[in-house]
């Protein structure tokens, strides 16, 4: 009986301790430099283009690459709008980030898709990351947050790609994709 009570108490302690730490959602993510642009073609080509006119301004353009060809078509379409080969400070370029994560190979797309969220910023000093990824039966929403609070910022405009690897099986029924900026005060 004492062993059973000890086991129950230990289990409760583990559950309580685990709830204090964020849970890894199981998605590989990275951020790449994209350059800044206010070209309307970005919003027009996004999966959530209807949401981008939202008065809140908290929606971000999101793109899905389900095949290697989708990725190459995206790069061709936006080659004169966004930067794919240029990094910024310690942030890799889009192409370098894809290569490092091995998302630039046709074999990757056999069982996975790649989501790209474009995050424009009024300073190159600001950095962003995935805050949360919510997948329901028919929708995906990627929440992006600013992860730094620099005291002094540069006055250059910048843009970032927040990239998310996701299994095709997990989103096979999804037809709605969205990305939002969340203000998560630390």
Query: What pTM was estimated for this model as a whole?
Result: 0.84
Confidence of residue 20 (pLDDT cuts 50, 70, 90): very low
Per residue in 54-94, pLDDT tens?
A: 666 699 999 999 999 999 999 999 999 999 999 999 999 99
Q: Which two tokens stand for residue 23?
A: 């849970």
Nearest CA among 82, 100, 80, 81 for reference residue 90:
100
Confidence of residue 26 (pLDDT cuts 50, 70, 90): confident
Question: Which H or E run contains 4?
Answer: helix 2-18
| pLDDT value at 97 more than 80 | yes
């Amino acid at each position: 009986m004492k062993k059973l009570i000890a086991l129950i108490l230990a289990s409760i302690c583990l559950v309580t301790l685990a709830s204090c730490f964020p849970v890894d959602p199981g998605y590989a993510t990275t951020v790449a430099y994209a350059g800044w642009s206010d070209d309307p073609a970005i919003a027009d080509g996004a999966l959530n283009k209807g949401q981008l006119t939202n008065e809140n301004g908290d929606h971000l353009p999101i793109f899905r690459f389900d095949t290697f060809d989708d990725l190459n078509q995206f790069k061709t379409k936006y080659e004169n709008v966004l930067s794919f080969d240029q990094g910024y400070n310690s942030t890799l370029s889009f192409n370098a980030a894809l290569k490092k994560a091995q998302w630039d190979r046709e074999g990757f797309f056999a069982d996975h898709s790649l989501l790209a969220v474009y995050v424009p910023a009024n300073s190159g000093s600001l950095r962003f990351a995935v805050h949360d990824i919510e997948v329901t039966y028919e929708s995906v929403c990627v929440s992006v947050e600013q992860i730094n609070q620099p005291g002094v910022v540069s006055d250059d405009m910048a843009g970032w790609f927040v990239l998310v690897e996701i299994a095709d099986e997990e989103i096979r029924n999804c037809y709605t994709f969205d990305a939002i900026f969340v203000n998560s005060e630390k």
